[in-house]
A and B are shown apart, each in its own frame.
Chain A
Amino acid sequence: AQTVTQSQPEMSVQEAETVTLSCTYDTSESDYYLFWYKQPPSRQMILVIRQEAYKQQNATENRFSVNFQKAAKSFSLKISDSQLGDAAMYFCAYRGNYGQNFVFGPGTRLSVLP
């Protein structure tokens, strides 16, 4: 079975600084999708970024980028120029190529310090 691990339960970053959240996963599949979701306090979950495993190029969305290392089964999220609004719970998630085996990591709570 697929598993997703986020080894940092909590992290903090100074406003305007850069922070990297770690995620590792385990799978025997060759094609799959990886996601980072953000869940602000008492607000809805939103997709931050997604990566298709067959793409070698790392995905980027504005201040958010990933470091996808397929061989190492690692998928870290880098947040540049951190803002107060980035404070949230961040979940790393894995999904099989046909939508099967949708697995979330335990989450990392990110605090942004002014």
Chain B
Amino acid sequence: KAGVTQTPRYLIKTRGQQVTLSCSPISGHRSVSWYQQTPGQGLQFLFEYFSETQRNKGNFPGRFSGRQFSNSRSEMNVSTLELGDSALYLCASSSSGPTDTQYFGPGTRLTVL
């Protein structure tokens, strides 16, 4: 099976812009979770989608949003970018349950200038 893929791998934006990141889960997986990884804050859970519905949510402002499509692919959007949004954004998929084994993608490195 192909692994979790994320596009783009690298992205440079400027403050105030918005960005959309994409994640394609492993075939058959219905759950997709998003994480932000920074040197200062470490790994933080953003949200989880299952069958096109947000099932769990971390403690991030409303500028961070996501959605999941019927084929389980997911997108994450960040509006009005801030310098502090520079991070590695990781996506992970699992078959169904929120505590099933998660398989991570390589991440999207976002730099906000």
A residues contacting B by CB (< 8 A) are 33, 44-47, 50, 91, 93, 95, 97-100, 102-107
- Tell me the residues in window 78-113 of chain B with beta carbons closer than 8 Å to chain A beta carbons: 90, 92, 97-99, 101-107
A104 neighbours in B (Cβ, 8 Å): 42-45
Judge whether B56 is part of the interface by a CB distance below 8 angstroms. Answer: yes
Q: Which chain B residues border A107 with CB–CB below 8 Å?
A: 42-43
A-contacting residues of B (Cβ < 8 Å)?
A: 3, 33, 42-45, 48, 55-56, 58, 90, 92, 97-99, 101-107
| Secondary structure of the B contact surface, majority rule | strand
The answer to whether B99 and A95 touch across the interface, beta carbons within 8 angstroms, is yes
A-B contact pairs, 27 of them (CB 8 A): A33-B99, A44-B105, A44-B107, A45-B90, A45-B92, A46-B103, A47-B101, A47-B103, A50-B99, A91-B43, A93-B43, A98-B56, A98-B98, A99-B48, A99-B55, A99-B56, A99-B98, A99-B99, A102-B33, A102-B45, A102-B48, A102-B56, A102-B58, A103-B45, A104-B42, A104-B45, A105-B42
A99/B97 contact (C-beta < 8 A), A46-B104, A104-B42, A104-B43 known = yes
Residues of B within 8 A of A44 (CB): 3, 104-107
Assuming the A-B contacts A99-B48, A99-B56, A99-B98, are A106 and B42 also in contact, with contact meaning beta carbons closer than 8 angstroms in the complex?
A: yes
CA distance A93 to B37 in the complex (A): 14
Min CB distance B104 to A, Å, is 4
User: What are the residues of chain B within 8 A of A103 when measuring CB–CB?
Assistant: 45
Measured between beta carbons, the chain A residues less than 8 angstroms from B42 are 104-107
